[in-house]
């Protein structure tokens, strides 16, 4: 029983990261209809920036993460403006192919700038608690709390501010929003900034919990899309539920079946959901 709970706890921590990545993907998809495959490498770049700030400049973890989120947001803006906007009226698949190209490009740049070695982001949260046999690492608690805080902050921004209202308007009906005088291009930029900042937070947390390495961006974004498919494209609650389910099922699969095949099991879950509920667990028909 305690082993089961341990796996669930570990799964929730990694699931929180998947959720952060997936929320960024889902808002971009829900509002702009772009499958932003380059999200993963943007998140990883942010992780590298966090690492750099901590190791080379001695910035505290959370400050470094915030600064990296800012850098990530700017990278997101650039990506939207120069890569996606030129094809916004072409077939959606063109944007996806562009995203694949961006992934290769940013991956190459990361490789050039930070090298091929694994890097673990150092954090001051090294304590380990023992709750009746359940091993709770401080870092994992921080990961979950950070995720929760970011999600609450984002929901507040989207539901309470004027910009947030514009974002929701574009999501509901793009043409009507344009007619109401919403600047759709500005909304697209804001959405990309927001999404990339959240993604970078995910990248920094995963870098602290596991490690940063080339190719991790792709694996993160694929997990993110798996979460989207689980929860329903464009749905934020779906991304939260889907992320946690994916994280926990992966951890359980690794603990009870085989750690080498844990990703296979995660994808199997995704495919089963697709078979029986193609719109996702919380998606609308």
Tell whether residue 275 is a contact of other proteins (CB under 8 A).
yes
Between the alpha carbon of residue 283 and those of residues 26, 35, 273, 280, the distances in Å are: 11, 16, 12, 5
User: In angstroms, rounded to a whole number, what is the distance separating the alpha carbons of residues 84 and 64?
Assistant: 28
Q: How does DSSP classify residue 212? A: B
- Tell me whether residue 143 or residue 269 sits nearer to other proteins (CB atom): 269
Residues 12-41 that bind other proteins (CB under 8 A): 29, 35
Beta carbons of 147 and 17 less than 8 angstroms apart: yes
Residue 88 within binding range of other proteins, rule CB under 8 A: no
- Report the alpha-carbon distance of residue 258 to residue 253 in Å, rounded: 6
Could you tell me which stretch among 43-51, 61-69, 81-89, 196-204 binds other proteins (CB under 8 A)? 81-89
Q: Tell which one of 5, 63, 74, 90 touches other proteins (CB under 8 A).
A: 90
Per CB under 8 A, 80 contacts other proteins? no
Does residue 107 belong to the site contacting other proteins (CB under 8 A)? yes
> How far is Cα 138 from Cα 153, in angstroms, rounded to an integer?
22
DSSP conformation letters of 143-208? HHHHHHHHHHHHHHHHHHSHHHHHHHHHHH-HHHHHHTT--HHHHHHHHHHHHHHHHHHHHHHHHH
Residue among 100 and 178 whose Cβ is closer to other proteins: 100
To the nearest whole angstrom, how small is the minimum distance from the Cβ of residue 170 to other proteins?
19
Question: If 0-12 CB within 10 Å is exposed, 13-18 middle and 19+ buried, where does residue 141 land?
Answer: middle
- Determine, following the binding rule CB under 8 A, whether residue 131 of this chain makes contact with other proteins: no
CB of 29 to other proteins, least distance (A): 8
Answer yes or no whether residue 225 interacts with other proteins by CB under 8 A.
yes
Asked if residues 228 and 56 have their Cβ atoms less than 8 Å apart, the reply is no
Contact call for residue 233 and other proteins (CB under 8 A): yes
Cα(245)–Cα(11) distance, rounded to whole angstroms?
8
**Residue from 7, 218, 232, 238 in contact with other proteins (CB under 8 A):** 218
Nearer CB in complex with other proteins: 72/232: 232
* Residue 267 touching other proteins (CB under 8 A): yes
222 binds other proteins (CB under 8 A): yes
Which one of 16-24, 186-194, 218-226, 241-249 is the stretch in contact with other proteins (CB under 8 A)? Answer: 218-226
Contacting positions for other proteins (CB under 8 A): 29, 35, 83, 86-87, 90-94, 96-98, 100-109, 111-112, 218, 222, 225-226, 229, 233, 260-261, 263-264, 267, 270-271, 274-275, 278
């Amino acid at each position: 029983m305690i082993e089961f709970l341990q796996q669930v706890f570990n799964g929730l921590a990694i699931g929180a990261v998947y959720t952060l990545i997936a929320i960024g993907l889902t808002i971009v998809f829900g509002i702009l209809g772009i499958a932003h495959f380059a999200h993963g490498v943007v998140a990883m770049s942010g992780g590298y920036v966090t690492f750099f700030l901590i190791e080379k400049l001695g910035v505290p973890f959370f400050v470094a993460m915030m600064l990296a989120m800012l850098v990530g947001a700017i990278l997101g803006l650039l990506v939207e403006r120069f890569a996606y906007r030129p094809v916004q009226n072409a077939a959606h698949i063109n944007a996806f192919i562009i995203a694949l190209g961006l992934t290769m490009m940013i991956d190459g740049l990361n490789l050039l700038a930070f090298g091929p070695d694994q890097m673990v982001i150092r954090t001051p949260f090294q304590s380990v608690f023992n709750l009746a046999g359940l091993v709770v690492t401080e870092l994992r608690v921080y990961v979950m709390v950070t995720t929760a805080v970011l999600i609450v902050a984002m929901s507040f921004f989207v539901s309470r501010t004027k910009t947030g209202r514009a974002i929701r308007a574009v999501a509901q009906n793009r043409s009507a929003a344009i007619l109401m005088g919403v600047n759709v291009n500005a909304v697209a930029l804001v959405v990309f900034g927001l999404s990339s900042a959240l993604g970078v937070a995910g990248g920094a947390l995963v870098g602290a919990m596991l490690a940063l390495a080339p190719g991790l961006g792709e694996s993160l974004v694929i997990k993110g899309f798996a979460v989207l498919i689980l929860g329903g494209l464009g749905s934020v609650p779906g991304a939260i539920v889907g992320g946690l389910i994916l994280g926990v099922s992966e951890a359980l699969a690794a603990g009870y079946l085989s750690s080498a095949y844990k990703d296979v099991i995660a994808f199997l879950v995704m495919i089963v959901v697709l078979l029986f509920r193609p719109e996702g667990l919380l998606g609308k028909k």
